[in-house]
Structure 1
Amino acid sequence: MTGGCHCGAVTVTLSRRPEYVNLCDCSLCAKSGGAWGYFCSAEVSVEGETANYRRADYEKPAVEMHFCRTCGTTTHWTLTEYHDGDRVGVNMRIFEPSELSGIEARTLDGRNWFGETAAAYRRPVGCLGSDVFL
């Protein structure tokens, strides 16, 4: 599946649909408009030039956000050197809603989660649809 930013300068191609999408409400995700599907780096191909941002309110930020240099659409994040693993978060809002139909949506309580414990969810898990996802 392939999605992209608003102006079309950046495209992201995935080798599969995500198992679920996290709708995180932490300050960074809420303000970037992210709805995250998680993948190994080998499952994600990004074409086009992106800019990046690391949150300044954490000494060792976990992720680096990537966005289109032209239109500003958040496309994905990558882990920083402060965290081990092979994980990429892709903003599933850059894909057509019809491609995401039926994928489980989880509302992550990111405002009250700091990574030391298992993530908590605010609302019951549901399926993505235009009324929930967009």
Structure 2
Amino acid sequence: MKYTGSCHCGNIAFEVDGEVKGAMACNCSLCQRKGALMWFVPRVELKLLTPESAIHTYTFNKHVIKHHFCATCGIHPYGEGVDPNGNAIAAINIRCIEDIDLESIQVQHYDGRSA
């Protein structure tokens, strides 16, 4: 299934292919504050619809995840990293996907504070 999404102001817009079978809520110092629900997909399934120049990036701790956000509205629509097998992945904030029923998505809680 193809989904569309964006930050609040629309400066970062995207399409992503896949099936949302669940999402992850992390309690690390950043994720807890931004309240994201992350859905992981292969990076090739994410297509940006806006220029990369609209994206700002924040990294912290081990600097392995690129947390992308909009400098205008502050929303974090997705991040990028590498899975344990070395494959490029995108972590899509499903709260930024249009017309998704968040109540129907099973959420797994991850203890990022201890990782």
Pick the TM interval, shorter chain. 0.7 to 0.9
The secondary structure found in structure 2 opposite 1:93 is helix
TM-score, structure 1 normalization? 0.71
The one-letter code sitting in structure 1 at the alignment partner of 2:28 is C
Q: How many residues align?
A: 108
Which residue of the other structure, out of 19, 44, 57, is the alignment partner of 1:42? 44
- Give ranges in structure 1 of 5+ residues lacking alignment: 115-134
Task: Give runs of ≥4 in structure 1 deviating > 6 Å.
Answer: none
Question: In structure 2, what is the equivalent of residue 25 of structure 1?
Answer: 27
Determine the C-alpha separation between the residues in 1 that align with 2:101 and 2:91.
Answer: 17
8 A Cα contact 2:28 2:111, kept in partner: yes
5 Å-filtered alignment, 1:1-134, equals 1-48=3-50, 49-55=54-60, 58=61, 60-79=62-81, 84-96=86-98, 98-112=100-114, 114=115
1:62 Cα offset (Å) = 1.8
Structure ID, larger Rg: 1
| Cα deviation 1:9-63 (Å, max 9, x = unaligned) | 11121112322100111112112332100000111112322100111xx2x3220
Determine the C-alpha separation between the residues in 1 that align with 2:103 and 2:17.
Answer: 17
- Give ranges in structure 2 of 5+ residues lacking alignment: none
Comparing 83-92 and 19-28, the one that deviates more: 83-92
8 A Cα contact 2:56 2:69, kept in partner: yes
Question: In structure 2, what is the equivalent of residue 121 of structure 1?
Answer: none
Is the alpha carbon distance of 1:94 and 1:23 closer, same or farther for their aligned partners in structure 2, counting shifts above 3 Å?
same
Higher strand share: 2
Task: Determine what percentage of the aligned residue pairs are the same residue.
Answer: 27
Question: In structure 2, what is the equivalent of residue 117 of structure 1?
Answer: none
RMSD of the TM alignment (CA)? 2.0
